[in-house]
Structure 1
Amino acid sequence: MKLDSIRAIANAVFYEGYILYPYRPSSIKNRQRWTIGGVFPKAFDQQGDASRMETQVLLRGGEQAAFNVHFRFLQVMTREVGQLVTPAQELPEEGEPALTRVPSLNVDGRELLAWEEAIEREIALGPLRPADIQEVATVLPFRFEGAREVEPVRAKDGCIAAVLIRTSHKIQGVIDVKAQRLATDVWKLTIGIDNVTPFAEVDREARAAAQLRAFASTHAILTVEDGAFVSLLDPADDLREAAAQCRNVGAFPVLVGGQDNSAMLASPIILYDHPAIAPESPGDLFDGTEIDEILTLRILAMTDAEKREMASVDARARALLERTHALTAEDMARLHGVMRDHPSQGSQIEPPPMGRDHEKPRLVSLLDSGRSLCVGARVRLRPKSGGDIMDIALKDKIAVVEAIERDFEDRIHVAVTLIDDPGRDLGAAGFPGHRFFFSQDEIEPIAAGDGP
């Protein structure tokens, strides 16, 4: 699998938390970002904020096996809004004009917001042969210099009315890689990244200042030639003990790409082997632990004012909003539940049997105490007192009979779906959460013309 394809999978993790629903800076949720994969400066010694991420993986390969490591992370960059005291034709060549920093500003319909953006960073190491790094680890120091950029914002008259000031701080780190031979053709690789960014004494108690010098959403991509990585989730029997002894701090490695096992992703979010981007997904939602359909519907339900604020966040948020509004009915339908094989499973996934609805004698109709009931009939739910919370919640709901079951003890169970359930089609197909069972004395047939 090509590295670019693996990066696309990793980006689902990379940008988790970059901007969270409801995608507005005014939301408290978006004031607590960068929540995964943080590697903080060692000088910032606070409980729970690690300064090192380390992963151990198993590799099968002979003397010619060679692997590459790509550590990737986001560097936080502040974006400030400055309103010029006096609009100007051009910015001064030295220094900055007289301005007032404000949290937000509207310039002829363009909303400017103070925000934190991110810079993608990647450090590559390799190719390395395990046999060459047994005794002494390979160490690669790296650094990125700080920068300050001032973007002028012009009003309709052509004068500069405001500026956007983007600031990033210098960061420094060290990557180390070492190999241990476990058998003739089996190696344990230890790969780590440390944040050694200097941290001023005055800032050492301020987590916000440390975050600006941290590595956010840190993860690693490993690829190998003339060898294959070993799954730590499902290792071969002869490597089960070795896999259990692998130490992973802040990240966990899973196989990615094809079945040749030539690549791994060490992610701060634990994934299954061979994760993939769902083909139905229309694009990044920056909230990878959520469900595309739910977030899409929530975006569409936002007010116009909330959408304007979302569009003002940055280009990524604006593209997300535009893409969501452009979805067709067919696009939305594709988001509504899919069953598929997972590469690690050997058999086709089938819809699960629904308890009493599985392989039990079925009836088309039922006559009881003078009442006629049949599949397709509308009923009102009258659950008995003392039932569970779901029964209580469904009291007086209108439903449709999907099946009438007689179990092997001659008890009758009526399977129904709710008229007002948006997922009723799933219930009709036998899926849980949309299909409910009641006894015949807990339902009340509705005469034709009654009910909704």
Structure 2
Amino acid sequence: MSAARPAGPVGGVTGCVFPPATEARLAPARRIADAVLFEGYVLYPYRASAAKNRLRWQFGVLVPPGYGRDSGEHSHQRTECLLEPRGPGGHLAVELRFLRARRRTVQRAAAPGPDAYLTVPELELSDRVLTPWDEGVPESVRLLLPLERLTRPEGVEHPFLLPARRETEPVTEKGAPVGRLRYATEEVSGVLRLRARELPGPYGALRLTAVVANTGGWTAPPAGADRADALPHSLLSAHLLLALDRGRFLSATDPPRWAAPAVAECAGEHTWPVLADPEGGDDVLLSSPIILEDHPRIAPESPAALYDATEIDEILALRTACLTDREMREARGTDARAGAVVDFAASLPPEVLERLHGAVRSLREVSPVPGAADASGEQPWWDPGADRGVDPARDTVAVGGVAVGAGSRVLLRPGRRRTDAQDLFLDGRTALVEAVLHDVDGSVHLAVTVEDDPGADLWRAQGRFRYFQPDEVTPLEAS
């Protein structure tokens, strides 16, 4: 995952203040949650005019129930997970996090006077091009609850209400007013419902159910409305962070054997719970609207947020740096976060860009000496020098009683049972064998270049060949 860094409008926090120890446990998980919060927020080329940025908010959208009934969208999400308290007196910290749409309208100064403004599709300035856009304002609702209270039959129900706001921001160019931005943030209301039930058996585990629901009264007008009309009244990218001060959560993907049947019965809706401590702890859980693995981590090579779903930092940074001046000005005028991406890509030093060129984290250590034994005394199977009895340039294979090896001419007769369409185009062509290769399964492959191919010398120099099995060629002469 790539890091998400704050930019743009700052939202608010509703509810309690967590103790310092709880904040310390949640801090690493919040970096993961921030990446979830802004997943797909604005996509390359980071302009509002791009087609892919016109259908937004794909994850964790909770619409008002009056709109959700007819739209196929969801108005609630449900998390069920197992936890094990450690002794009495434990508390559960709950943090609901989501984005709230702040709709921006662009107006140009039409004539001298305080109210002479005209709504326009764009306002071009020297450093940016301002366009209408829905900004995402982060919001949080926090609760700190005794576990004992959650086990009562009624559980806990916590409604919340975020009031509507209207704001205006003047736009100036060289000190002179040229327009203004008008922001509309609509009322959003919802409820958090939490309840815990003890599992039968000797383990003392609890099944926690947490429901987040949009309870807003907004409905589509009689003339109808599209999804964009409902988004300002919705919870966007909604997810939960949960932390225990005395206890642990059980993994939904790799639970203890005794808990597996109970985990299988957990009925989540529109979220996926994962252990969220990147260092491997089990006292913090993230219920995410996108599927993650336990203990997700921010890639250490990722120096900034690019917000692009399933982003690849290197290629996005390179492409962003290649945007035209006009495109960069449009991105800066689209959103503060998009502008930060453009400025980041334009100022990226070579040593940082090199770090983005991929990383391999799963290979075990091997001897740096080619062909040398590893710590177990075995030869690395993938090392071409490990088996001195194999030489692709000298080995031969018998085909129809003829020894075929490097330098042999063959007629290509690809079979249909394992051949793709590209190989079938070469049926009947002649080729030169470049090497005889053995794979780890014991199969033999002939690396060939096609005769009369004007690029054959280039393929040979780069070690790029076409591959056929011995029963797919006919020798043209003895080797």
| Shorter-normalised TM range | 0.7 to 0.9
Q: Which amino acid aligns with 2:133?
A: W
Name the counterpart of 2:243.
223
Say whether the 8 Å CA contact 2:271–2:287 is kept in structure 1.
yes
**Residue matched to 1:46:** 70
Instruction: State the Cα deviation string for residues 90-138 of structure 1 (Å, max 9, x = none).
Output: xx5xxxx121111101134542111110111100111331465331121
Match of 2:124 in 1: 106
How far is the alpha carbon of 1:200 from its aligned partner? 4.7
Q: Tell me if structure 2 keeps the 8 A contact 1:361–1:407.
A: no
Question: Compared with structure 1, are the counterparts of its residues 327 and 391 closer, same or farther at alpha carbon in structure 2 (3 Å cutoff)?
Answer: farther
User: How far is the alpha carbon of 1:8 from its aligned partner?
Assistant: 0.9
Structure 2 counterpart of 1:21, which letter? Answer: Y
Tell me how large the CA RMSD over aligned residues is: 4.0
Give 1:445's aligned residue.
none
> What is the distance in 2 between the residues matched to 1:167 and 1:28?
23
Match runs of 1:72-221 below 5 Å: 72-88=97-113, 92=114, 97-130=115-148, 132-156=150-174, 158-183=175-200, 184-200=203-219, 202=221, 205-206=224-225, 207-221=227-241
Would the aligned equivalents of 2:100 and 2:236 in 1 still touch at CA under 8 Å?
yes
Corresponding residue pairs, total = 409
Deviation sequence 1:167-197 (CA, Å, 0-9, x none): 1001111111100000452000000111111
Q: 1:228-247 deviations in whole A, cap 9, x for unaligned? A: 00001011100000000111
* Deviation by residue 1:195-227 (Cα, 9 ceiling, x = unmatched): 111215627831222111000000000000110
- Structure 2 counterpart of 1:312, from 320, 333, 341: 333
Partner of 1:298: 319
What are the equivalent positions in structure 2 for 1:425-440 lying under 5 Å apart? 437-438=467-468
Q: Is the 8 A contact 2:78 2:269 kept in 1?
A: yes
Give the Cα separation in 2 of the matches to 1:249 and 1:303: 43
Amino acid across the alignment from 1:145: P
- Structure 1 residue 405 and structure 2 residue 441: aligned? no
Contact 2:150 2:156 in 1 (8 A): no
Q: Alpha-carbon deviation of 1:328?
A: 3.1
Q: Which has the higher strand share?
A: 1
* CA positional deviation for 1:283: 1.3
Give, in angstroms, the shift of residue 4 of structure 1: 2.3
In the alignment, which of 41, 59, 66 is matched to residue 36 of structure 1?
59
Evaluate the alpha carbon distance shift between residue 99 and residue 55 of structure 1 in structure 2; reply closer, same or farther with a 3 A threshold: same
Could you tell me which residue of structure 2 aligns to residue 56 of structure 1?
Answer: 80
Q: Give secondary structure in 2 for the equivalent of 1:74.
A: strand
Structure 1 gaps of 5+ residues are 342-346, 375-381, 429-433, 443-452
Residue in structure 1 matched with residue 376 of structure 2 by the alignment: none
Q: Which amino acid aligns with 2:350?
A: A
1:65 is matched with 90
Change (3 A) 1:134 1:358: farther
SS in 2 for 1:307: helix
Q: 2:199 is paired with a residue of what secondary structure?
A: strand
2:358 paired with 1:337: yes
Taking a change above 3 Å as real, the CA distance of residues 410 and 143 of structure 1, as seen in their structure-2 partners, is: closer
Q: Does 1:243 align with 2:263?
A: yes
Counterpart residue number, 2:344:
323
Equivalence map 1:334-413=2 (5 Å): 334-341=355-362, 362-363=390-391, 365-366=393-394, 373=406, 387-389=419-421, 391=423, 404-405=437-438, 411-413=444-446
State the alpha-carbon separation in 2 of the partners of residues 162 and 393 from structure 1. Answer: 63
- Alignment check: 8 A CA contact 1:73 1:219 kept: yes
How many angstroms apart in 1 are the aligned matches of 2:332 and 2:425?
38
Distance 1:148 1:16, change over 3 A: same
Letter in 1 for 2:391: L
Identify if the C-alpha distance between structure 1 residues 256 and 410 changes in structure 2 by more than 3 Å, giving closer, same or farther: closer
Runs of 5+ in structure 2 lacking a partner? 1-23, 367-379, 397-401, 450-454, 474-479
**Contact 1:361–1:406 at 8 Å: present in 2 too?**
no
CA contact (8 A) 1:43 1:199 kept: yes
Task: Show structure 1 runs of 4+ deviating over 6 A.
Answer: 356-360, 367-372, 392-396, 406-410
Change (3 A) 1:34 1:435: farther
Decide which moves more: 281-290 or 105-114. 105-114
Q: Which letter does structure 1 place at the counterpart of 2:355?
A: R
Residues in 2 aligned to 1:327 and 1:403: alpha-carbon distance in whole angstroms:
45
The correspondence for 1:17, drawn from 36, 40, 43, is 40
Instruction: Supply the AA of the counterpart residue of 1:116.
Output: D
Does the C-alpha gap of structure 1 residues 223 and 203 become closer, same or farther in structure 2, counting only changes over 3 Å? farther
User: Displacement, 1:301?
Assistant: 3.7
Describe the SS at the equivalent of 2:89.
strand
Q: State the one-letter code of the partner of 1:411.
A: V
Would the alpha carbon gap of residues 210 and 221 (structure 1) be closer, same or farther in structure 2, given more than 3 Å must change? Answer: same
Q: Distance in 1 between matches of 2:266 and 2:194?
A: 15
Work out whether residues 229 and 261 of structure 1, in 8 Å CA contact, stay in contact via their aligned partners in 2.
yes
Deviation larger for 274-283 or 18-27: 18-27
Equivalent position amino acid for 1:388 in 2: D
Moved more, 197-206 or 255-264: 197-206
* Superposed CA offset, 1:393-418 (max 9, x none): 9999xxxx8984378878344499xx
**Is the CA contact 2:130–2:330 (under 8 Å) kept in the aligned structure 1?**
no
Larger CA Rg, structure 1 vs 2: 2
1:314-335 alpha-carbon deviations (Å, 9 max, x no partner): 2211111121222233323322
Q: Distance in 2 between matches of 1:410 and 1:178?
A: 59
1:3 aligns with 2:3: no
